[in-house]
Amino acid sequence: MIMAFLLVVVVNGEIKSTDSMLFRDINRCNFFSFAIEKGYSQDRQYLITSYCEPKMVPETTKFWD
């Protein structure tokens, strides 16, 4: 088992991310988290929150970084 970081995305109080949104590097995960929260959206009616959560995963897990 190794430590990874799960990108959690919440839109209007509902979790939209999946358990496969994993990164090896916290900085890479935080990059996407920041971009999701602060990125441009034409419809500003959504409340979007995102954060990176540490998680233990098998070494064979696919990562996005």
Residue 14, C-beta contacts closer than 8 angstroms, at least 6 positions apart: none
pTM for this prediction: 0.84
Mean pLDDT rounded to a whole number for the chain: 89
Residue 47 is predicted with a pLDDT of 84
For the residues of 3-55, what is the DSSP string, one character each?
EEEEEEEEETTEE---TT-EES-HHHHHHHHHHHHHS--S-TT--EEEEEEEE
Helix, strand or coil, per DSSP, at residue 59: coil
What are the extents of the domains in the chain?
A: 2-57
Residue 44 is predicted with a pLDDT of 64
Residue 50 is predicted with a pLDDT of 94
